[in-house]
């Protein structure tokens, strides 16, 4: 077991401990020996006791996992069980605490300072509610004084707090995802470090409202989106991307938040779930790579500086002229530095492309050469060629996978082997540029090479689904004038799928032959049912009649 694998299992142990599972249950789930479990358990209990000693009752610290060095990580929170009156006092105090860096007080802070003493000195209780539909506030309260001046101040204080209460109610209800969902998985050994769990999108690029309620399994490597052209697959991929990183990618705006629209996502992060609601403070997800349909152009010596803005994480998905990071620059550097990355990345490409025999660096010319071979047992070697001379399908694989490797190496600098990289990769039109055989093989190949990466992709082709790994997720995207873009999760057994069933049931292609061929096929099917009864005179006559109608043009092998 590698150090990274042990860390991941240890983090799962902590997650299950926090969920209240027994050591026996955890041992069965993780398949870890009792000695290791006992050691982790003693350490966990000691750390839990230590971090929560001498803490005030409302403060809570929880162990959330360990880092790569084995140090515990924590989340700190403050929990309250306050009456509405005490909650009002706390809210006003929180507004006052918002004064920072000696900046001038704003109007809310001035009024909070004025009315907090009124709540502290004269209110015995308060009850307040806010109707989201009518935008009306209702309240009742009792005072410990009959003084008219106190009553006047109390009325002003309540009306001010009512404004604050209404604003916070609107803000809280505008969070599309508010609560963490349950983790769903089949095998604990396959749980990914990062993975999308669910999403909600409102009023974005033709989407009125879509919501995935049932969370995706956190051990699924592939989420496929299928649907006709113009149905909104790209819009969904873009909304997921925005949910992961926020409204901007470096200097480029991706989304303009308003009252009418919104994006919320929940994703699994190492051993806990994180919720992002756009418009609220979110922490950008760093281990992300995104690709639109155009992914053949990579940076060159001449363009590297000029097109930096076209090489950002999301540019390719949102624009048609994206330029991918140049893996050849990196291969050259790693080769000269004698870094393990060179050999590891080279082997990655050789596994991905069976027609490649080797990748070599010519130091004097600073060029990378690709050596192709015959797809036969002899495997005759061809003359070395440059990237531009490769077939577009091979260039597409090298350019995109190279870009993935560069980006995730940057976010995980301690890693030298692509197989250890973790993150989320989003690809629009996965099947583009590839022969059907490669389309079928690419999901399995990418999962074998990047076992810790989740791929979220759209496709127009049924072929990648034929090669989808077990436990993949399929989302069918539809679009109508009345409902706009909608998404339906299709429950299927990928291992039992046939191309015929997929065409009819998933791609809605009820008729995929010409009328003449369809009729001939039906006659052929009829003949097959009759051919075994030639000894029966009645069946024989039927067979002869059908055979004559079929004729020579559509024999289908008979």
Cα–Cα distance, 262 to 260 (Å, whole number): 7
Helix then strand then coil, in percent of the chain rounded to 5, is 40, 20, 35
| Distance in angstroms (rounded) separating the CA atoms of residues 328 and 335 | 10
Strand partners, 290: 426
The tokens for 42 are 């003693």
- CB contact set of 95 (below 8 Å; sequence gap of 6+): 108, 109, 112, 164
Cα-only R_g, the chain: 31
- Indicate the Cα dihedral angle 121, 125, 131, 132, nearest 10°: 60
pLDDT tens-digit series, residues 510-554: 555 555 655 665 665 665 565 555 555 665 566 566 656 655 444
Which of 485, 453, 455 lies closest to 473 in space, CA to CA? 455
Is residue 137 a contact partner of residue 164, using CB atoms and an 8 Å limit? no
All structural domains of the chain with their residue ranges: 3-76, 84-173, 194-503, 515-550
pLDDT at residue number 461: 83
- β-strand partners of 140: 127
Place of tokens 């989740």: 454
Q: What is the 3-state secondary structure (H, E, C) of 453-518?
A: EEEEEEECCCHHHHCCCCCCEEEEEEEECCCEEEEEEECCCHHHCCHHHHHHHHCCCCCCCCHHHH
Question: What is the enclosing helix (H) or strand (E) of 502?
Answer: none
- Two structure tokens written together for 500: 């015929």
Neighbours of 509 (CB within 10 A): 12
**From its phi and psi, is residue 261 left (phi > 0), alpha (psi between -120 and 50) or beta?**
beta
Residue given tokens 């071979």 in the structure block: 373
Computed over every residue of the chain, the mean pLDDT equals 83
Dihedral of the alpha carbons of 8, 14, 15, 21, in degrees to the nearest 10: 130
H/E run at residue 192: none
Structure tokens at 9: 């299992």
3-class DSSP state of 484? strand
Q: Are 268 and 183 in contact (CB under 8 A)?
A: yes
pLDDT digits (tens, 9 = 90+) for 330-359: 999 999 999 999 999 999 999 998 889 999
Q: What integer pLDDT is reported at residue 553 of this predicted model? A: 44
Q: Within a 13 Å sphere around the CA of 17, how many CA atoms are in the beta-carbon half?
A: 21
Our CA dihedral for 27, 31, 35, 37, rounded to 10 degrees, sits at: -40
Per CATH, the homologous superfamily of domain 194-503 is P-loop containing nucleotide triphosphate hydrolases (3.40.50.300)
Give 10-residue mean pLDDT values along the chain (558 residues): 78 87 86 88 87 57 79 68 84 77 74 93 90 81 93 93 84 82 89 95 92 92 91 93 92 83 92 89 92 74 60 90 90 93 95 91 92 78 90 88 95 93 95 83 93 94 86 91 88 66 62 56 59 57 61 44
């Amino acid at each position: 077991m590698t150090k990274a694998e042990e860390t991941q299992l240890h983090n799962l142990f902590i997650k299950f401990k926090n969920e209240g599972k027994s050591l026996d249950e955890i041992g069965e789930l993780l398949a870890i020996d009792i000695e290791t479990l006992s050691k982790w358990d003693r350490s966990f209990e000691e750390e839990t006791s230590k971090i929560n000693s001498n803490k005030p009752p409302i403060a809570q610290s929880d162990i959330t996992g360990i880092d790569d060095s084995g140090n515990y990580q924590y989340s700190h929170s403050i929990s309250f069980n306050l009456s509405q009156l005490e909650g009002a006092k706390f809210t006003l105090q929180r507004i006052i605490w918002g004064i920072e860096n000696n900046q001038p007080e704003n109007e809310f802070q001035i009024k909070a300072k004025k009315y907090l003493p009124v709540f502290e000195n004269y209110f015995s209780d308060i009850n307040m509610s806010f109707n989201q539909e009518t935008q009306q506030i209702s309240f009742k309260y009792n005072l410990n004084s009959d003084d008219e001046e106190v009553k006047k101040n109390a009325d002003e204080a309540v009306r001010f707090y009512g404004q604050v209460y209404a604003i916070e109610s609107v803000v809280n209800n505008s969070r599309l995802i508010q609560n963490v969902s349950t983790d769903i998985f089949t095998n604990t050994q396959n749980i990914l470090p990062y993975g999308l769990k669910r999403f909600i999108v409102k009023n974005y690029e033709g989407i009125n409202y879509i919501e995935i309620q049932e969370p995706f399994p956190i051990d699924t490597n592939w989420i496929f989106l299928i649907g006709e052209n113009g149905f909104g697959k790209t819009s969904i991929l873009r909304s997921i991307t925005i949910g992961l990183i926020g409204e901007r990618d470096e200097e480029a705006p991706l989304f303009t938040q308003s009252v009418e629209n919104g994006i919320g996502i929940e994703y699994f992060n190492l051993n806990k779930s994180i919720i992002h609601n756009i418009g609220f403070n979110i922490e950008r997800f760093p281990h992300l790579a995104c690709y639109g349909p155009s992914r053949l152009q990579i940076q060159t010596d001449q363009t590297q500086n000029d097109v930096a803005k076209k090489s950002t994480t999301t540019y390719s998905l949102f624009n048609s002229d994206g330029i991918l990071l140049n893996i050849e620059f990196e291969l050259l550097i790693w080769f000269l530095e004698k870094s393990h990355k060179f050999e590891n990345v080279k082997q990655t490409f050789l596994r991905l492309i069976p027609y490649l025999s080797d990748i070599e660096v010519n130091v004097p010319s600073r060029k990378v050469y690709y050596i192709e071979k015959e797809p036969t047992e002899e495997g005759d070697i061809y003359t070395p060629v440059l990237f531009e001379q490769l077939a577009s399908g091979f260039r597409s694989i090298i350019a995109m996978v190279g870009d993935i490797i560069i980006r995730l190496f940057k976010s995980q600098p301690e890693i030298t082997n692509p197989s250890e990289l973790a993150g989320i990769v989003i690809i629009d039109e996965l099947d583009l540029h590839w022969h059907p055989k490669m389309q079928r093989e690419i999901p399995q190949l990418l999962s074998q090479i990047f076992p810790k990466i989740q791929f979220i992709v759209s496709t127009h082709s049924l072929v990648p689904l034929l090669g989808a790994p077990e436990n993949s997720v399929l989302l069918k995207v539809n679009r109508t004038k009345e409902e706009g873009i909608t998404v339906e999760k299709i429950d299927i057994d990928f291992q039992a799928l046939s191309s015929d069933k997929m065409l009819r049931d998933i791609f809605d292609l009820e008729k995929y032959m010409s009328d003449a061929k369809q009729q001939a096929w039906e006659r052929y099917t009829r003949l097959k049912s009759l051919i075994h009864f030639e000894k029966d005179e009645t069946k024989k006559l039927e067979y002869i009649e059908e055979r004559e109608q079929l004729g020579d043009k559509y024999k289908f092998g008979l």
